[in-house]
Amino acid sequence: MTTNSMQPRPKTHIDLRSDTVTQPTPEMRRAMAEAEVGDDVYREDPTVNRLEQRAAEIFEKEAALFVPTGTMGNQIAIRVHTQHGQEIICEERAHFINLESATVAAFSGCQPRTISAEDGILSWEQIKKKIAPPAYYRAQTGLIALENTGSLAGGTVYPQAVADEICDGAHDTGLPVHLDGARIFNAATTLGISVAQIARKVDSVMFCLSKGLAAPVGSMILGSKKFIERALVFRKALGGGMRQSGILAAAGLIALEKMPARLKEDHDNAQLLAEGLAAIPGIKINAKKVVSNILVFDVNGTGMDTAEFSRKLASKNVLAAGIDSQQMRFVTHLDISREDCVRTLDAVRSISQP
Ligand code: TLP
């Protein structure tokens, strides 16, 4: 092994497409090389077992399971909670219905019952109206699914009292709640509370090690021991039994223990970008609504659609993508510095000139 193999790839672009693009840190790479491993399908990988135990402790849940992706984590949780022919109540921009290849239909046999909510933040008031009445010809509600932070909604964060009220209402009605907490550590940073407090009332939570926390691969799902026992069956069914995955879990442990502390820096950079963008003619964004590491802004006033805007930005070595024809998304992360944000704003100014 050469020393170079431990080095991150040289940076040629400012990549704001997603926090999924983060490179593993040198410490992660070392830990991966040295990880003690076993066969995780036999549940004998000591590093995976340690990661699952630490995640359960940090989230104050009975048990945790390491899965390859956030998508698999969400879809396993949904499969455990629901039965074929049921409905899942969620916000219309929820990742699990928009960007997970209709797996909720194909694997769980469920349909979404969506609600359009301001900033992607649902309330119990809205949800309770969507719970199916007990008529034999109506698909029955099987699950309520929340997302915190809301990825396509612009990294928005649930006020904890709002999320807790939803959980209390759901439980009083006999319904479970799953939280897509892909970026729950960003939500915790914004709220100044622990991830355990955010997840206290939900029945299951998924979070990603491979986004802002910078691990190369991996997500976790957490819940009761019974939930995780069932989840293990569906992880195998989906081809997620990974053998010597301690190599990956070793990076995941560093992501979990060390990386949350630096997320505030990403939020500050997102705020800098938001305030800068708000001052550029033709661009619409409310900087006050940017509370984590994701910004969504409207480029319609520049006379460009997002495809053209992205193309021109790429010619200035800044990568970003649209979430539709008018709205662009920027995501800050470990590999984006304050200086990169200043340069990005210069690039946006130069392409937005009439
Ligand atoms: N989100 C990705 C893309 O799929 C859009 C991104 O760049 O933001 N839940 C949420 C809230 C997510 O944002 C994502 C990934 C997932 C689940 C799925 O995670 P992976 O990509 O690991 O399957």
What CATH number does the domain containing 174 carry?
Answer: 3.40.640.10
Does 58 map to a domain? yes
182 lines ligand 1 (CB under 6 A): yes
What CATH number does the domain containing 280 carry?
Answer: 3.90.1150.10
Which of 212, 227, 258 is a domain's end point?
258
Together in a domain, 42 and 160: yes
Does 80 map to a domain? yes
Distance 152 CA to ligand 1 centre (A): 10
Together in a domain, 271 and 234: no
Does 345 map to a domain? yes
Mean pLDDT of 200-208: 98
Distance 100 CA to ligand 1 centre (A): 8
Distance 250 CA to ligand 1 centre (A): 21
pLDDT interval class at 353 (50, 70, 90): confident
Together in a domain, 191 and 282: no
CA-closest residue to ligand 1 atom 3: 99
Together in a domain, 56 and 143: yes
Mean pLDDT of 155-182: 98
Does 200 map to a domain? yes
Hey, which of 19, 67, 95 would you mutate to test ligand 1's pocket, going by the most ligand atoms within 8 Å of its Cβ? Answer: 95
pLDDT, tens digit, for every residue of 302-314? 999 999 999 999 9
pLDDT interval class at 2 (50, 70, 90): very low
Together in a domain, 116 and 242: yes
282: pLDDT strictly greater than 90:
yes
- pLDDT at position 1 is 39
Together in a domain, 241 and 338: no
Does 3 map to a domain? no
52 lines ligand 1 (CB under 6 A): no
Q: What residues make up the domain containing 132?
A: 24-258
Distance 96 CA to ligand 1 centre (A): 9
Together in a domain, 273 and 247: no
Does 152 map to a domain? yes
Together in a domain, 252 and 274: no
Return mean pLDDT, the chain: 96
- pLDDT at position 10 is 75
3-state SS track over the chain: CCHHHHCCCCCCCEECCCHHHCCCCHHHHHHHHHCCCCCHHHCCCHHHHHHHHHHHHHHCCCEEEEECCHHHHHHHHHHHHCCCCCEEEEECCCHHHHCCCCHHHHCCCCEEEEECCHHHCCCHHHHHHHCCCCCCCCCCEEEEEEECCECCCCCECCCHHHHHHHHHHHHHCCCCEEEECCCHHHHHHHHCCCHHHHHCCCCEEEEECCCCCCCCCCEEEEECHHHHHHHHHHHHHCCCCCCCCHHHHHHHHHHHHHCHHHHHHHHHHHHHHHHHHHCCCCCECCHHHCCCCEEEEECHHHCCCHHHHHHHHHHCCEECEECCCCEEEEECCCCCCHHHHHHHHHHHHHHHCC
Domain total in the chain: 2
Together in a domain, 105 and 243: yes
At 345, the amino acid letter reads: L
Distances from the Cα of 79 to the Cαs of 106, 230, 234, in angstroms? 10, 9, 8
Mean pLDDT of 334-351: 97
Distance 19 CA to ligand 1 centre (A): 9
Together in a domain, 67 and 165: yes
